[in-house]
A and B are shown apart, each in its own frame.
Chain A
């Protein structure tokens, strides 16, 4: 019960502190889940992001389900998910019920201008950190560059990139281990 409650509260905190969707959530998630709680490491987080992007549904929810499931099985997955959506339910219902022109309020607009700028820098910091864990050799570097550049310039579904990168991962690693075997044979 203790850890379920902790899952709910932690993900509710992540939900409240996320401004602008799954990617903006990354710096907060990394701090809460990896650094503070050590529930998953940064490579696992990247695995979940990769899967979360090519499976149905909102990325934030997919991540919450993954982490919750890993910690506490099916109840954990459900509780973490409910946690991440709970703040939205409260805040949005409140706004929808009481404030008809929320998004047009000048100070809200100004606050979000500032927040967006901050989120850029925070995402950059997270990307630097995650890059160190995920990109360790030349083939991985090439995959990283091609995916980043293509997705800035082309509007192709992330699903395509993820599937191709997964297939390339298998091919490259097989090729590498074949190379290693050969080197061993030569040494013999």
Chain B
């Protein structure tokens, strides 16, 4: 039963991939080898699509794999069912684990040790987000996948910096404009990208 296997495989992926969207990639590679549902080059396409559409990466990957696998076996209706099943499989472990943690968190929220731990956790959390931001800067401005790529030849487009400067000033300093919803800046940048990049 393909749908049951889809659910199970993505349940496993959701349960063991820790730390965000790209953490699911090794599991999908393993899935490709084990099940033969898709090849490595299909996977590269899936990553490209997942990265160029809205939504969390891991969820996009699950939906895409679920659709293509389901439709191979049962046509486009099978595809839709596969997409839903794979996505539900991916999120089920999260829901269970987070519910349990949230329960204990609300129970121990006045505990001194828990609060002290969060004092360190918050600082680390902002640090991790800052690092993720730096990695996105490397990709967006220099097409570098890690800081070490910066040691080699670095290419960049001055236009990218100009756009960044405009968004930076507009979103931080210009009255009224800086309070606009972030999506306004995203749409503006997408249009600039299509027209000039």
A40-92: which have CB < 8 Å to B? Answer: 43, 46-47, 49-62, 65-66, 69-70, 74, 77-78, 81, 84-85, 87-89, 91-92
Interface pair A58/B182, CB less than 8 Å apart: no
What number of B residues sit within 8 Å (CB to CB) of A? 96
In the bound complex, residues from chain A placing their C-beta under 8 Å from that of B147 are 152-153
Stretch from B1-9, B28-36, B53-61 forming part of the interface with A: B53-61
Q: Does B155 contact A (CB under 8 A)?
A: no
Interface pair A56/B171, CB less than 8 Å apart: no
Report which of B57, B119, B163 forms a contact with A114, defined as CB distance below 8 A. Answer: B163
Interface pair B19/A61, CB less than 8 Å apart: no
Task: Given A49-B125, A161-B124, check contact A173 B119 (CB 8 Å).
Answer: yes
Interface pair A162/B54, CB less than 8 Å apart: no
Q: How many A-B residue pairs have CB under 8 A?
A: 381
B49-71: which have CB < 8 Å to A? Answer: 49-60, 63-64, 67-68, 71
A110 to B59, CA, bound (A): 23
Q: How far is the CB of B57 from chain A (nearest CB, A)?
A: 4
Interface pair B99/A117, CB less than 8 Å apart: no
Q: Which 5 A-B pairs have the closest CB atoms?
A: A114-B193, A169-B120, A147-B127, A57-B94, A165-B124
B residues apposed to A, CB below 8 Å: 14-22, 24, 45, 48-60, 63-64, 67-68, 71, 76, 79-80, 83-84, 87, 90-91, 93-95, 97-99, 101-102, 105-106, 112-113, 115-137, 139-141, 147, 160, 163-164, 167-168, 171-172, 181-183, 185-186, 188-194, 197
* Extra 17 A-B pairs, beta carbons < 8 Å, given A92-B60, A93-B80: A17-B182, A19-B54, A21-B58, A69-B102, A88-B63, A93-B83, A96-B64, A112-B51, A112-B193, A117-B163, A123-B129, A123-B136, A127-B129, A144-B124, A161-B128, A166-B120, A173-B112
